Structure 1
Amino acid sequence: MKLKTLEISGFKSFAQKTKIDFMPGITGVVGPNGSGKSNIIEAIRWVMGEQSAKGLRGDKMADVIFGGTADRKPLNRAQVIITFDNSDHYLQTDYTEIQIARTLYRTGESKYQINGTTVRLRDIQELFMDSGLGRESFSIISQGRVEQIFSAKPADRRAVIEEVAGVYKYKQNKDKATAELSGVQDKLDRVQDILFEIRQRLEPLAQQSAQAQDYLTQKAEFDQLDQARLVLAIQDGRQAAGQLANQQADYEGQLATLHQIILDLEADLTAQKQARQELTTKRQTAQTELLATATRVEQLLGEQKLQAERQTSRSQASHDLAAEIEKTKANQVYWQQTIQERQAEIDLQLEKTATLTEQVKRIKNQLKALDAQTLQTEIDQKRSVLVEQMQRVATLKNQAVFLKQEYQRQTVQSERLHKQLAEVNQALTKVQVTLAQGQADLEQAKAQQQAQKEALAQAQQAGQKLESDFQTARQTWYNQLEKEQRVQTRLQTLKHLADQYEGYYQGVKHLMQARQQFPGIAGVVAELITVPKDQQLAIETALGGALQQVVVDQATTAKTAIKYLTTHRLGRVTFLPLNTVRPRHLATSLLESAQASAGFVGLAADLVTVAAEYRPVIAHLLGTTVIAQDLTTAMPMAKALLQRVRIVTLDGQVINAGGAMTGGANRQQGQGLLSQRQTIDQLTKEGHQLAQQSQQAEERVRTLEHQVQVAAKAFKKQQADLLTVNEDVQNLTHTVQNAKEELARMQKERAALHFELESNGIESEDGHRQPNHQVELETAQQEQADLQTDLDQALQKQAAASQARQRYQAELTECETELARAKAQLEAAQVRKADSQKQAQQAQERMDSLQKQRADLSADQGQVRARIEHDLTEQTTKKDALTAQVQDLDKQLETKGQTIAQVELALENRRHQQGDLMTKSSEVARQKAQVTTNLDHAQTTLQEDYGLDYAAAKAAVTLTMPLADIETKLKLLKRGLADIGPVNLQAIDEYTQVKERYDFLEQQQADLIEARDNLEATMGEMDQEVKTRFAQTFAAVAKHFATIFVKMFGGGQAELLLTDPDHLLTTGVDIKAQPPGKKFQQMSLLSGGERALTAISLLFAILEVRPVPFVVLDETEAALDEANVTRFAQYLHEVNDRTQFIVITHRKGTMANADVLYGVTMQEPGVSTMVSVDLTEVLPAQQEE
């Protein structure tokens, strides 16, 4: 496979389309600094998929597009096309010729093509994968790659061997496996955390489930006996109800007879009272009429006196009204005159408004006549033409400057090249002079070299000691950080679980997450209490599901919360309202017996620390529970307490009231809800301690790091000093040898200089173009001046029109202001006229009112006096008749009152008899109602509690004992249910669900552990493959390196070494070398040129191990002296039959050995162009000269 052509268009400085044909052998690319040589290499890297703009010496990818110069506009597209001869099918494809193109537009769009077909970047990368080619392979070697080898640390130098061995894909796969392993471990940690929390719930749920089963068994027996009790109660109630009904009927018959007698007496009493009421009504009527008549007589006498006094005052009032009427007439005349004045003012303002309106219209027409658009259009056209002419003048000026500068540049460059030729001719003489001086300086340099080596060895030893301490301290710091991270992860998980109420019943969990809606919620019991660590298991067991009961301030809060849970179907919760929950206490005798028993720890309620307001809740839950040391002491204690008290041991075993026992332990006993908060606090404290330790470790690392850096700087200074001395010795040693070889090199250098003179020849036409160009420039400047004059005249005309518009505009503004003022004055005059009309109307209305009042005063006063005297005589006669009538009615009322008293006495006696009978009847009715209520209650209880009617219940139960025995046994069962305590019936189903989830998570945990083990095994296999490939590749590269080093140096020896052969995954790669005349030593102790040539030898060894069809060398030999450059070029000739070389260089020795040279020049600033020459033809011609 060979590289055939490279086409560049719009890429960086290659503005024009440039095509480079690559021939077999060595192709050299030369040119002055800044001419664009490196842009060719970057074009190859770019078309082969380079994605880093910084790697291409840019800030963004669009920077690779030609950006323009003073004479060229920027381009909008960059395109590079590279063509390979693939006739040997080196690349795994059917094509015998492969053309790859990459195009980038300034808009950001880009595309890749293979043989004209648009493809993806991945397709390009896959084409070169494992081929040894590509943008980062050893097919492109720059000076920086050489420096990377000889200046890198052994650990970094290892990457070179790894790249050749092709182990990156294994390392990438291992990185992916490591990431997957981290993900699996995270999932495993989460599963284990969840299992840890579920395990805490499982044991309490198992106890609650068993407790609920016990409860249901006793409750079933209780329900069966209760049904029998209710059936017997209904039978007895029905019998008693029949007897009471008969007795009640007898009483009701007697009451009916007595009731009729009372009705007759009440009718008589009502008739008598009605008669009395009629007499009373007549008397009240007569009395009322008498009082009214007497009052009327008194009024008439007062009116008679008042009439005489009014006669005098009315005469004076008539005179006052006459005066007021005259005053009102005068006021009315004044307002009529005012109305006439206001109308005259309105007429004046109307006339003024019309005049101003006409004046405004006239000014607007004048302004409209001054249209500035035409003038502005003409000015814009003239200005546009002037700008274009100014641009043309500027372009001509720039061209004149460029022609002058180009002529001067070419002249200077030609002089420089001729001067260099002269210097080459004198160089041989200077070399002989230099040899004598060099021999004198050599001995002095060797002595200085030995002293520097000793100082370097001491600095290296001190630096290694500090580096070891630093690595140890850093590893300690990393260990601390890892430990801190594990604690923080564990803490965050527990906090999250606690905040989300994981481990709680669903109803409790949903309610507490919405507790902001219920201000009365105090919290869950588990949150409100604190228990010593050694007693936590006992209290958790004693409380069981009650740990998750919710404490609220009052029953109404519980009611609201229950409604919320029911509405949203979120589950069930047990509430403990502080205003209804009552504490429970152990009987004194039982408490004394417990305290006297061995192993007594205390009452459970007394062992709990809780706020005072919640103490009744704890007494309610734990007031009758005893905590014992262990089961051995608990059993005798239960016997002493007559099996009537629930006992819980410190290790969680339970002896229930009645003798039932619950015990055992899970295979993995976890923490409960009570200890969860203590674990969080403990982890928080531990996290703070670890953070402090990590900080201290970090401070030590920073201190050692600074010391290492100081030591490294000192070592580098010693190393630099030694390198300087080594270079001096090396240069002096090779001076004589260089002089012998200098003659042949000078001949080739002279040929290269002649070629460069031809490439950069002066174009004499530029000197002749300058006078003609100056005439053209002066003509353009005169045209520009004429255009400026025309524009100035148009601007003056526009300014005059603008002044006229401003004058008319000011006049228009003044008229419009005066018009607005006149309209406002018109409106004000109209308002004042309306006000005057209103005042005139009010004066007329006032005058009419006064005239009417005066007419009323003139009525006939004589008629009033006659009427008063007639009425007085009539009312006096009526008063006397009414007085006699009232006296007669008083006598009749006295007689009727005596009759009513006799009837009422008889009626009262009968009612006493009725009351006695009703009391007896009511008692019978109450007894009957009570029996009926009890009967209804029994039937309702049957229906509501058991879903049975009386007939069904009677058929279902077996009545084998009397009611009294049934009630006795029910009391015992009820006490047993109470001793069981609060029961969570949901625990049965919830235990089943949690157990299923626990089993599922345990299986998932096993699967994750298996996945983790598989990943670790796979990573081990990858490590083994990397070791094998690395070892094989290293051995092959080391072998070729030793051979090529001898060729490159003309002798000596070199060796690749592993810094840690026992650990092939991490070992570094070191280089030891012994150039001719030197001792065997580290590469870092060699001179700069020796190190560069050693690194180049290693790169060539790599190419021997993994050969590639072509290699691009970008100033790789820049650091070599001339003798080594010659050997470098000779080696290229030795291997160019199997590898095609493209060499970017400015070294004459390399140029002299190239088969084809391409010159890169910038005849136009900022634009690269290419010229080529076949050196097989040039060199003989130069030698003949």
Structure 2
Amino acid sequence: MRLKNLEIKGFKSFADDTVIHFNEAVTGIVGPNGSGKSNIVDAIRWVLGEQKGRELRLEHMVDVIFNGTKKRKEAPLAQVTLTFENTKNLLPLDYHTISISRLLYRSGESEYRLNNVTCRLKDITSLFLDTGVGSDSYAIIALGMVEDILSNKENARRKMFEQAAGISKYKARKRESINKLKATNEDLARIEDLLFEINNNLVELEKQAKRTKKYFEMRDKYKSTGLLLAHISVQRLKEKIQGLNTQIEAEIIKVQDQEVLLHQSEADHEKFKKSHLDQEKNLGDFQRKVNEILDSIRLTESEIQIKEQKKLLIKNQQEHVLKSSMDAKSKIEVLKQDILLIETEIAKTTLEVDKVNAYSSGLEIEYTEIQSKYDGLKIGVDQYYAQKQQLEKQVFDLEKEIAIQLNQYENFDADTNRNKDELEQRTNEFKSIQQEIDDSNKRIQDIQVIIADISKAEEERQATLVTLRSQIDAQTQKIGEINRRKDAKKNEYELLKSMVEKMEGFPESIRFLNQNWRKDVPVLTDLIYTDEKYRSAIELYLESTLNYYVVHSESEAVHAIRLLFSNAKGKANFFILDKFKNEITEPVVIPGCISAYSLIEVDSIYKPLLNYLLKDVYIQEHDSQLEDVIKFPDEMSVISLSGSIVKQKNTISGGSVGLFEGKKLGRKKHLEKLEQDIKVLESEVLDMDRALTYLKNEQKKFDLINKQQELVAARKQESEYLQRLAQISTKQQHFNELKERIELRIQDNTEKQSILKKNQEEKSIDLSKAKSSYQELINSISQSDQVFDKVSLELSQSAAAFNQSKLEVLKWQNTLDNITKDLEYKTRQIDESSRQLDHDLKNLNDQESELVQLDLDLMELKKNLEDRFEFKKNMEADLSSLEQEYYTIRNTISEYEGKIRTAQRNISDIQSMTNSLKDQRSEFNYRIQSSYEKAMIEFNTNIDDFVPDQETEGMEEEQLRDRAMYYKVRLDNYGEINPLALEAYEEMKTRFDKIQEQRLDIQTAQVSLLETIKEIEETATANFLMAFNQVRVHFQDVFRSLFTSDDDCDLILLDENDPLECDIDIVAKPKGKRPKSIHQLSGGEKTLTAIALLFSLYLLKPAPFCIFDEVDAPLDDINIEKFNTIIRKFSSDSQFIIITHNKLTMAEVDVLYGVYMEQQGISNVAAVDFRKYEHDVVLSGMEN
């Protein structure tokens, strides 16, 4: 990759478009102080992406834009373009020529371009990453940066080593990976917090969802039962209505018989009434027609109003379009005037261009004549100087070769001794390295054992946590199950308590006595309690007597009966305890049956009563077929276990058993049992909650004993040990290679010393002959120098004048081009304004047409409106006459109605009965309607649409009422629910599962990032150590070539355990000096040391181009020669751009650019190719 050219415009002092070509290996840039030389380096740094104003000697980045002078305006933007030839495909682009540009506007807006395509700064930095090209790379060095390198300011040395080693991309990837890891850890922490919060809410929502689901199930059952009851009630009422209709029809027949005489008198009345109805119908139809006419009038008026508004809107739009067209015409006129002025200016500028071209042509002819004269003289002078240069070169080369060979001989001898000393020293180092490798291997084994132990402990901890979690889940499920059982018991308790308190299922008389008589007198159903297994059977047998009051004496029963009689509250039945003998009959043992009396629990005072009721009553222990039950003797009463069959003396009954059978018997006793069961369940829940708390505490304890961080730390330590082992192994390998090189150098030095000694004798003889020939040629040259110098001066002056005229031609030509572009821009504006004007005129025509159509529509609508008003007036007149006829007939009907009412009073007695029946029918209809409305309000369902379910199929109405009451009480006592809990639970559960998947992905990414960082560190460390060792060897070689072979130097890593971050120390000890610090060296020695370091980096990784900004300033002439020699040596691989004030450096470059300020504050450049001249002539001319 080669640097092709640099284009600068509006950057700092370069106001005009300036192009600097870098076609040669070594390019020099010279100029007086303040002319803008360093601005060229700043432009290269800037276009490569420099973001720090301090590095460009600025306070603010916008200061790079040319700020103007007394005669020149400030530039609107700064633009720099750097062009490369991608000869070796070093850049990953399929282009041979690649240009990068950077533009900065005064608004602060910045723009980057790659091959004139807008891109990002990141794209440019990525393109040049690890190529040795960059705004802060070691390819661009200023004099002040030499001190920065030596003092390691802002870690400058490390940055250069990282660039040369190619690990910048690794460090960038590592930083990105660390940032990603940090973000990943933060995301993981947030997700853990989120999961913890969601899990808590999820548990609560799950409870609410289950409770809501159960509520909805009970509500559906209550709805189906209630609708079935309503359906049965409606059907019963409809049957009653049917009977009433039959009676009413019979009564109507009787009335009709009595009304035969009345019909004759009513005939005339009916005739007039019919006529009246027809007249009323005609009047209504006519009134509707009048209303339709009124609606049509209102619609037409509305349509007229809409079209008027649309007309007004179009007129407003026309005004806007007219204004726009007037503006366009004015703009076109202004542009035409501007074009006339521009065309006049183009004509004037064209004349100036022709005039300047003519003047430049004259100067070109004059320059050509002087050049021809100069060339003629130069041929002769060149021949002399060629011979002189050849002899000088021969003498110089011989003297140089003799001195070099002598110096080389001494160097080889010193190098051999130094290599032997180094070999002995390195051997001792090797022993310590081997010992350190053994120690590292042992440490690695130890830490791996520790990692295995920690991993095992962590696995055991995780296994324990899994066990605890499963136990906690199981315990939670058990608690939930017991809570559900407890809730069921509580609901049953509340329902039963409500039924007992409200006397549900008891007749009205019992409920009345309970409230208004004595509450301490029991009902038979409350005295008995038996096991649930036998409850249905016993209840069915005692069903007819369960509602009997149990009293001690007849007086109590009489008092209650009188109370019922006086309040008309129905009838009640009573058992008189005094009437029952205190005798207990022992039951007979019957196989497969058990005495009903033995199964009940009752107070002793009531046992005679129960003995009486259940004497010779037996319950089968297992359900049997009907045939098995009827085989028993008639004197025995036998009940099947389920209660489906009841056989008594001379009777047998049976059938299906209802859902609520057995629920009425022993309610109060059952309440006490339920209360005890609830207390037991609450105690169990309390105990299990304590156990659950213990398990959760254990889980927290194991959560705190987290070995994960300890494991990560141990693995990190293992990685450090492995990294250290890799570093030591690399050092050992390097030592082995170094040992081989030292032994080869010792052998090679001995061979070269014998060859050098022989060559020195031959060169001394050739040197004497060359000096004699050189002295003879000097005498011939002095005679031709004076004439040639005079012609050279004339040629230089003519060339300067010709170059200045060419610049003037370019200036006027640029002015002409700019004016021409302005003319094209104005012409385009005229075209655009004309198109806009045509568009506006077309819109005006369209809007005018639309206005005409609107006017026509309005005229038609208004005419229609007038016609409708006239029609409405005629219709209203006809309506008035019809109303007059209607009221006349109505008065006649009123007279006949008076006569009919008189006749109707005669049959009122007959109709009273009919009306009474109709009232009953209306009441039933009202009750039916109420049932429909109640079903719609309570269940939001029509009774006719009801479809019975399988559960309620076959149930009796009383069973249905008990079932409905059961679920209604449960629903009323159920408490508040969250109706959205089911949906919310499903949504939150889905979210919880999704976040858990995200947590797993993040944990996987976390492990991947840790492995990536470890891999990057290992790769970067190996590459850096390899590069460092190579640069170290190169540094020693280059340093000794710039100083002497006896000088000592070295590069040292201050912390070998952390090579990627530690500082790099430079040891430089020129011969005869023992400085304690590199800062004690002279300015020239410091510069040469920095140059040695730079070129040792170039040997490892050559930069495509190198820029030295007055780096040679501290060097004397001898060191300048060394500097120039090493530049020439490396110029075959890299381009060099040298900003200098030194004449010797100027003489060594291929092309020299002079930076000057023709106008104060504006920099320009001019190029000179030194290869056309002899160096000695140029140097002598500079010195004169």
- TM-score, structure 2 normalization: 0.39
